[in-house]
């Protein structure tokens, strides 16, 4: 749960403080007033990363060279924590002198610098916005990112495995390249094979656990029953051996969780191929509800639900479902108008002006 945030030079905000109720907060403001930016800042406190920016320094206000997000969070079991994220462009101008070098990112918990894997997971969120429709219809990388976002919140070892796996993958691909060019022997692969198999198996195991968990949940949305099929790419010594020649030819690692995917189904049929737009939307909502349940099951905490501008896309009955869900944990909703405010319980308005 988040009590309050303070933004400095984050996107369009110069200096901004916001307090959040444990109930529902409704952030109201015209287009481009910074509603999504606020949710992005909360996501940053949760994960130590941006969900939008490809280059992290994009979150720094155009005219500045350093930005800061601070937040006070509290869980039902944990004490209050002060989280702070600072992002720079790599240097800071101090007065008239020459620009000074600065770390690009600093993450702190209670004022103490922490690594990403120790910073993340202190503030648990489930974020839902219009872009999540891509989960059904777009490329596998979006679905893998979803799996990582869920699992990374509740599992420090998963956070470590992902970082180690991704680093190892880049190294191994470089070695494959060197072997192909005749600049390295096959023995150079052994270390990286072991590292990828070890971390890759952990990732696969946890992803499978999550997908099993959500397939065993009993809830339906509008009497629609959804499920996921895990399309996994297992990594093992024998699989690496099997694809060895091909991998050297392509200079790319061809098996492993970086090639995973899952299929969204309504009943026995693929939602991407056969579902209506409305059914796909309900499928994504179902997935987000499952995410809330999973995080609660693993951590004993209900995460904060962040809903970005989703009411405009929902019709009456579907809005009721969301209103009902909003009442079950701290929820922060953004919207251009407040015609839904009356349906929400324990709601506090936060107004933004452009
Ligand atoms: N780094 C930045 N510095 C200053 N303004 C920014 C930066 N990044 C985005 N913006 C501004 O933020 C606004 C968009 O904010 P957003 O949160 O998407 O609005 P809303 O969700 O309320 O429609 C745009 O006007 C954009 O120009
Ligand atoms: Mg927006």
Residues with CB under 5 A from ligand 2 (ion): 35-36
Domain ranges of the chain: 1-124+303-354, 126-300
Q: CATH assignment of 1-124+303-354? A: 3.40.50.300
Q: What is the pLDDT of residues 116-127, one digit of tens each?
A: 999 999 999 999
| pTM assigned to the model | 0.94
Q: How far is the CA of 36 from the centre of ligand 2 (A)?
A: 4
Give me ligand 2 centre to Cα 31, in Å: 7
Q: Do the domains at 1-124+303-354 and 126-300 have one common CATH topology?
A: no
162: CA distance to ligand 2 center in Å? 30
Question: pLDDT for 194-217, tens place per residue?
Answer: 999 999 999 999 999 999 999 999
pLDDT at 54: 83
For tokens 């339906």, name the residue. 220
The CATH class of 126-300 is: mainly alpha
CA distance 299 to 296: 5
* pLDDT exceeds 80 at position 222: no
Which ligand 1 atom sits nearest the alpha carbon of residue 30?
A: 22
Query: Which positions ≥6 away from 144 have C-beta within 8 Å?
Result: 257, 258, 260, 261
Residue nearest to atom 9 of ligand 1 (CA): 11
> If you search the block for the tokens 């010594």, which residue do you land on?
237
User: In angstroms, rounded to a whole number, what is the distance separating the alpha carbons of residues 197 and 203?
Assistant: 10
Residue 353's alpha-carbon distances to 30, 184, 340, 341, 347, in angstroms, are 7, 60, 19, 18, 19
- Report the pocket of ligand 1 as residue ranges, CB < 6 Å: 11-12, 29, 31-37, 58, 60-62
Going by the DSSP 8-state scheme, the letter that residue 224 receives in this structure is B
Tens-place pLDDT, residues 3-31: 999 999 999 999 999 999 999 999 999 99
Q: What is the pLDDT of residues 128-158, one digit of tens each?
A: 999 999 999 999 999 999 999 999 999 999 9
- What's the confidence (pLDDT) of residue 341? 76
For residue 29, give both structure tokens. Answer: 């403001």
How far is residue 305's CA from residue 328's CA, in Å, rounded to a whole number?
Answer: 9
């Amino acid at each position: 749960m988040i009590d309050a945030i303070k933004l400095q030079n984050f996107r369009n905000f110069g200096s901004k403080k916001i307090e959040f109720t444990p109930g529902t907060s409704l952030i109201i403001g015209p287009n481009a007033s910074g509603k999504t930016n606020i949710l992005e800042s909360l996501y940053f406190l949760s994960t130590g990363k941006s969900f939008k920016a490809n280059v992290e320094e994009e979150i720094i206000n155009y005219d500045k060279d350093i930005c800061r997000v601070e937040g006070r969070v509290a869980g039902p079991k944990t004490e209050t924590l002060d989280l702070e994220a600072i992002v720079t462009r790599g240097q800071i101008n101090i007065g008239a002198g020459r620009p000074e070098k600065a770390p690009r990112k600093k993450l702190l918990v209670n004022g103490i610098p922490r690594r990403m894997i120790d910073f993340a997971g202190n503030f648990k969120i489930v974020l839902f916005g219009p872009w999540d429709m891509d989960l059904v219809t777009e490329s596998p990388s979006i679905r893998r990112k979803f799996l990582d976002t869920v699992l990374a919140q509740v599992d420090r070892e998963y956070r470590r495995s992902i970082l180690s796996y991704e680093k190892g993958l880049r190294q191994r691909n470089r070695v494959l390249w060197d072997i192909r060019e005749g600049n390295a022997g096959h023995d150079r692969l052994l270390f990286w094979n072991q590292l990828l198999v070890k971390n890759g198996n952990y990732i696969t195991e946890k992803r499978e656990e999550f997908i099993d968990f959500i397939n065993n949940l009993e809830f339906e949305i509008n009497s629609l029953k959804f499920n996921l099929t895990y399309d996994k790419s297992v990594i093992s010594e024998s699989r690496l051996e099997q694809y060895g020649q091909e991998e050297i030819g392509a200079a790319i690692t061809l098996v492993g969780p970086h090639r995973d995917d899952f299929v969204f189904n309504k009943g026995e049929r693929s939602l991407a191929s056969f579902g209506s737009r409305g059914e796909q939307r309900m499928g994504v909502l179902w997935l987000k509800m499952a995410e809330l349940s999973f995080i609660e099951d693993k951590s004993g905490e209900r995460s904060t639900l962040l809903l970005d501008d989703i009411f405009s896309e929902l019709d009456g009955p579907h809005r009721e479902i969301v209103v009902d869900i909003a009442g079950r944990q701290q929820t922060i909703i953004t919207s251009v108008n407040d015609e839904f405010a009356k349906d929400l319980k324990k709601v506090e308005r936060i107004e933004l002006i452009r």
